[in-house]
Chains A and B, each alone.
Chain A
Amino acid sequence: MNGSGRPSRALRLLRRAGDEQAVMALLVLFVGLLSIAPLARLGYAALLPDGVLDPARITGLLGGRRVIEATINTIWISVSATMLATLAGTAAALLAGLSDMRSRTAWVFGFVLPLMIPPQVTALAWVQAFSPASPLLGAFGLSLPPGTRHPLYSAGGIVFLLGLYNAPLVFLSVRASLHRLPAPLIEAARSAGAGGLPVTRDIVLPLIRGGIFAGAALAFVSSIGNFGIQAMLGIPARVPTLITLIYQQLNSYGPSALNDMALLALLLAGLTLLGMGLTAWLGRRGDQRVDSAARPPRLSLGRWRMPVTLLAWGYLALCLALPLTALLGTALVRGYGQPLSAETLTFGNFVNALFHHPGIRDAFLTSLWLTLAAVAVLVPVSVALGYVLSWRRGRIARGLMIASELAYALPGIIIGVAMILFFLRPLPIIGTGLYGTAWVILAAYLSNFLALALRPILGGYAQMDRALDEAAQLTGAGLLTRLRDIVLPSLAPAAMASGVLVFMTAINEIQVSVLLVSSRAQTIGPMIIFLEEAGSSTLAAAVGCLMVALVLVLMLASLPFRRHLPPGVLPWQD
């Protein structure tokens, strides 16, 4: 009736609502501001740049010769790379998960390693593989004579590298399916007289179909959005794809091209979602069997055991040793093109990269603090979000999940364009725009990597008995108290794994920040491309080697903790 009753009532409501609603509101704000709003801004800029829908502009832009060429390239390159990755990844998962191949643990580590190496470093390493400094090819005189066209600077080269790079994604998905495969199904087929090959073909492959297509969907999303490989090979080879087109146009025309680039980004997003939907539809009747206690027995390779083992290690030698030794070789010579020998050997590039080059040092320090800040924000947010998603289902929770997954699945460059659009204009309170500062990059990281941080934590929640939290709730403990006292102690290993994954991805990433870096804020990931473009191949190689070393150290350091983690949380653990 009168106005004075209202505030006290509101206060009482708030207190009664408790911290659970407050946490929910903060999560909605976080995801809304960092994922939904920038993507909505992107869609608005793409379709309604001046507030009106202009079909002529849209068809004119999308019907252009360069855009059509780039779109066709994007589609067939991603699809071919996905097929290659699916073949290699499935074969590897069957070998590692089902056969009695020798030394599987080390092999799995090596097979998954390429996924952890930044793609621009992979591309650089492969480019160097045919250089005279390559210890493997160079030593056999197989390096390319000067003046010949590099075989990887082609559409086929892009497909090859994208396929190899994404094979571990399919591998991980198929391996997870294999782990859920009920042992009795295989045992029944074997007692019915089926040998290793028929069992694999008739029983195993149909049952893991869902895992294969889920992996293929991941490989497609990763291929279509992989800036590092597409840019490092596609730009010199003059094979335009949508990603490189957006990058080059924005670099040449600056923010004036933003609305048009937003439209291309939307096209890329549409293709990505289409590919995901298509693979989901193909794998729709995948078997959703829950786990069984017994792991299936390994199938014996018999007299093929040695040859298969050798072949598998040969694959690793090709995919890992060949490019990485070449990268190291290039990093160790004085000038690009020199063969590695006692006279040309130098550590100068490493010394330069580590201590003398101010650009590299600044970029590394910027990347380091951005990454640490992203970890510090994303892990606690993921713990709270994971709680809501696991134990408080509802429409809001589902919306948050989809928004964060979308921001992760869409190519990083789309998030980049969205962030530029969103932060280009001055902010209401601060009065100055964040565009060009490191803060925009941080916002993009928080948006793009939320789903990555969330995944291990959801795994941790799935292993936890929900009654533990409910028992604490009955004692009267509020949400934040419960998260601290009850949830976090059980979830700590998963939270740590989540931090490691975000750290490893963000410290070297390129596709999110490549559009956002400026003279004021430079990250280390795109540095390789800039150094390579500037002709400092040996320095770029040294930086690449250091990135690989950092990744390796982190992977190895996390191995001792693997027993405390939910299975499959860290990809490189078997």
Chain B
Amino acid sequence: MTGVTIENLRKEYGSIVATNDVSLDIADGELAVLVGPSGCGKTTTLRSIAGLETPTDGTIAFGDADVTNDPPQDRDISMVFQNLALYPHMTTFDNIAFPLQAENNASEAEIREAVESIARDLDCEDFLDQRVVELSGGQQQRVALARALVREPEVFLMDEPFSDLDELLKRKLRSEVVRLQHEREITMVHVTHDQEEAITMGDRLVVMNGGDVVQMGDPDTVFNEPAELFVAQFIGSPQINRFDCTLERTSGETTLRNGDLDFSLSDDLAASLDGAGGEEIALCVRPQHFSWAERAPENESDGNGSDGDGSNGELSVPVTVEVIEKIGTEDVVRCRGPNGSEVLAVVASGTLDEGAEGYLRAEGANAHLFDGYDEHAERLN
């Protein structure tokens, strides 16, 4: 096993730029997840690591060895393809044994032993002699994983292999992959467009957009401190609430104005706005960070909270509950805000009814401020 280092990877297909300038560093034994919307360059990056694409520019190294121009055969990798690429004319056993037969130096007995061992790990034993076309989707998935894991490659690559599976199976296989990855300390690069999958699986997320890496970090960091407005909106479910505000500073008090809605900021947050490039600030709050209040926060009746704490740093939005979506122990409530905008919150199940009026409140510490309204707007706090 080894780490993977990519420097300034650029790949063009004619006039189309698939990856612009991708640099990333994956540690030995780490599970890195490339996540982003369709066309963000994540699959191109993965295929470049595999050697299935030749970069237009930039270098790829496994450990200290530069492999940029090596064909896939010469890189010690294995890969699970999006369509699995199981060979329909072979049995499960032959499919799993296939990578071991590339070089004719493994004996029949060794191959049998290796295949049976990985088949045990991935519950494929019962259908080793069946042709893969006779298997169910979940079974085929297991076979594809087994074929990739039957060797011990330096780098293990997965290109959205779970995207066609039903929810339950998806969760099960995800956790199995993570278990195997931890057990064997495999360096793994996983590609997905599913941010939830990325967060649950990854040691590290590499969030990509428009051919570039926009943020790299562990799931907590990416979730709690999104580096760009795009990351804040892409990661997290339900989607983060966004208020496009204009900045107003009056007599030592900093206010973000969103139509009829004012957010008075605590000194900490206000200070973070010093680096802002303009008046346009996007304020985002995750639905999970809102809590429900029947009455307006007290500081509004207090008048000026001129003590050091500003307006005690709390944000509140008057809303009317419109729709309640049950997701088990919690409800997602879709509310109508003062400017007709939709505001989402996650509350304990059954606490609210449709039509209820009240306030959604969040601590200032949970606010995310971005320098502008476009997706590249950088985080300020």
Do chains A and B interact in one complex? no
